[in-house]
Chain A
Amino acid sequence: MTVIAATAPLIEADGLYKSFGDTAAVRGVSLTVRPGEAYGLVGADGAGKTTLMRLLVGALRMDAGHARIDGHDVVTDTERARSRLGYLAQRFSMYGDLTVAENVRFFGASRGVSGDELARRSAYLLQFVGLAGVEDRLAGVLSGGMKQKLGLACALLHQPHVVLLDEPTGGLDPLTRQDFWQLIIRLLADGVAVLVSTPYMDEAVRCTRLGFLHEGTVLREGAPRELTEPLDGRILELVAAPRRTVQAVVRADPDVEDVAAFGERYHVRVRAAAGPLERLPRALAAAGASFTALRTIAPALEDAFIALLAEGRSDRRHGIEL
C-alpha cells in the first residue's frame, strides 16, 4: 500500500444542500476528513447519510455547496475526484456467478487497472482482506462478512486516498465486524481518509471522529470521547421495580433530565449526580417501589445523541433556530 504523505483534508464538504421535491435530505452539511481519520456519519434511516455519500461520490448533484475529494471538486472535476475514491455501497453489487478472482478482475477493469498491476493489486488485496485461498469460490456463496471484504477489496483496487463506506457491517457478527474494522484501521495507518455511515452506536464508537446527523444537518461532531464528555458523571444506572412507579418517581426529581428503561435497569440522565444519588433510593422506597442499586456509569454515545436531540427541541421551544 502506498503511504499518503499529505496532511491536507482529503474530504471537504462545504455547505451541502440537496432536496428531492419538497423533501430536504441534506440541509447545509460541512465536514472535513483528514488523512488517517475514520469519520462516522451517525444517524437514523432518512437522516441524510446515503444522500450525503452519493453527493460526495458525484452520483447526485447538490443544490448548493461544494465538495472536494483529495482537492478535486466532485462536480467540476468529477473524473479526477472519482479516481481518488473507493466507495462501498450499502448493497454492494457483485456477480454472484463469478468467482472472487473474476469479480476483482472485473472491477479492476472498470477502474482502469489491468495487466500486471491488476494481478499484483488483486493478490495483495485478497491477502489484505483475508480472502486469499478462496479466489476460485463463487461470490454468490460467500458468507456476509466475506462478501463485504470482497467489496472492500474491489473498492481499494485503484489505491484510493479516500474510502466511503455506507453501513458496511450491517448483519455481520461482532467478530467479523472486528476483523473488518482492523482492515479500516490499517488503511488509516497508510493515511487513507475513511467516511463511514451507520445508524448504530456500537459501530459509531469505532470511528476516530463522529458527526451526529439528524434531519439533514450535523448536530455536533467530535471524537467519541469529546461527545460523551459533557455527560461524564451525569448518567446513573438504576435497578428498581415496578417500571411505572420507577419512571414516575425518577422523573419527579428536580435534577433528572431523562430516564430510559433497559429491561429491568434504567439509565437516568441528571444535571448533577449528588442530589439524585441521595434522594432517589428514599423516594422510590416511599413510593412503594423496590430499590436494588444506583450508581454512576460512563456515558455512552447513545446517551450523548439523545441529550443533543433533547437540547435541540428545547432550543426550538425557546425560539432559537438550530
Chain B
Amino acid sequence: MTAETVIAVEGLVKRFSAFTAVDGVSFTVGRGEVVGYLGPNGCGKTTTIRILLGLLRPTAGSASVLGFDVQRDAERIRPNVGYMSQRFALYEELTVAENLAFYAGLYGRERHDVAERVGVADRLDMRAGALSGGWRQRLALGIALVHNPPLLFLDEPTSGVDPEARRAFWDIIYDLAAEGTTVFVSTHYMDEAEHCHRLGIMNAGRLLALDAPHVLKATRVAGPAWDVSAEPLLPLLEALGRVEGVANVSLLGDHAHAVTNVGTHDAASLRAALAGVGFGDVVVREAEVTLEDVFTALAGRRV
C-alpha cells in the first residue's frame, strides 16, 4: 500500500504464567491500511492490541506504533490512537452533541467536523440512549475520532448491527483510510473480516497468515468449493469426507460445503463418487470459497 509503516511488530510473545497468549507474532501495517485480525475469543487478539496501546509489556519481541516503541514510549502512543471497543461507553442521558463535546473536552481538543464525518450531524440533539444500534456505533466511532488520531483500533465495531448499517459504517472507515488514517480491526466474525484490505488469521496466539481476503481464499485453501445436497445429511458429510481429493467438509444449513484439492474434481465426478457409496439424488453446485474455509484450512482439525 504505502511505504510509511505505522505498526511494526517483530517476534512478539506474551505469556501469562504458563499460558502463552501471543506466540511469536510479526507483521507490519502501512499508513492508510485497514488491517483485520480474525480469530476466536482467547486467540490473542486483545492481548496484542493491549501491547500495541502500551498497556501490557511483551514477554519478548518488539513492537512500535507510529514510530514509538511500546515499552519505552507508551505515553506518546496513547494520545495519538483512537479506540472503539465492542462494549463502548456512551452517556445515555446526554445528547449526541454533548457526548462528543464531553470526550473532546477530555482530550482538550475541539472537533466540530466529527459529527459530520460519522454522519450524526442531523441527530446532535438526540439522547444517546434513544439511538438505534447503527447510530450508536457511529457515535462511538465519532468519540474515538474526536482527537483526530492517525491510528484507530476497532474491536468488533459492527457486532450486532444490521448488514445495511454495517456497510454504511465501513464506508466511513474507507473514507478515513483514504485520507491516511490507519485502521486496525479485531473480530471473530467473517462478515466483518471481509471488509479489511488485509486480514490476519489468528489462532491460539499465532498469526497463521496475513493477506487480502481474496488472496487468502485463492492461496490458502486446497482448491475449489462445492455445495453438495443429498439426504440424509449426516451420512452425506461422512461419505464426502472419505471421497478421494476432498480436503475439507462442513455443514451449511440443509447441505454440505466441500473443498476439493486442485484438479481432482468437477461436479460430475463428485456426483459419481457419491453415487458409488449409495447417494442417488445428489445436487452439486460450485460455491465461493469462504473465509471459514481459509480458517479451517489454516487452523486444521484438532483432535
> Chain A interface (Cβ within 8 Å of chain B)?
38, 43-47, 143-144, 171-176, 178, 181-182, 185-186, 189, 199-202, 205-208, 214, 223-224, 242-244, 260-265, 297-298, 302, 305-306, 309-310
Contacts and interface: CB of A to CB of B under 8 A. Distances in A.
Contact of A174 (B160, B234, B288, B296): B296
Given A189-B232, A309-B164, A171 B253 contact: no
30 contacts: A38-B253, A44-B134, A44-B165, A171-B40, A171-B188, A172-B188, A173-B39, A173-B40, A173-B203, A174-B190, A175-B295, A189-B232, A199-B161, A200-B190, A202-B191, A205-B252, A206-B252, A207-B253, A224-B254, A242-B178, A260-B170, A263-B195, A263-B196, A263-B212, A297-B288, A298-B287, A302-B191, A305-B162, A309-B162, A310-B164
Nearest to B254: A208
A3 B290 CA distance: 34
Contact of A172 (B40, B171, B214): B40
Interface string B183-210: 0000011110011110000010000000
A36 B161 CA distance: 29
Contact of B163 (A46, A175, A208, A302): A302
Nearest to B190: A202
Contact of A261 (B174, B191, B290): B174
Contact of A201 (B167, B191, B301): B191
Contacts of B171: 261
Contacts of A262: 170, 194-195, 213
Given A174-B40, A174-B292, A224-B254, 19 more contacts: A44-B161, A46-B132, A172-B40, A174-B295, A174-B296, A178-B250, A185-B233, A189-B233, A199-B159, A199-B161, A260-B170, A261-B170, A261-B174, A262-B194, A262-B195, A262-B213, A263-B34, A263-B195, A263-B212
Contacts, number: 125
Give the interface SS of chain A, mostly helix, strand, loop or mixed: mixed
Nearest to A258: B167
Central interface residue in B41, B161, B165, by most chain A CB within 10 Å: B41
B251 A144 contact: no
Contacts of B301: 175
Nearest to B132: A46
Interface in B127-145: 132-134
Contact of B253 (A45, A178, A208, A260): A208
Interface string B279-301: 00000000110101001100101
A169 B35 CA distance: 24
Nearest to B198: A263
Contacts of B132: 46
B42 interface: yes
Given A171-B188, A189-B234, A297-B288, A260 B167 contact: yes
B43 interface: yes
A243 B254 CA distance: 37
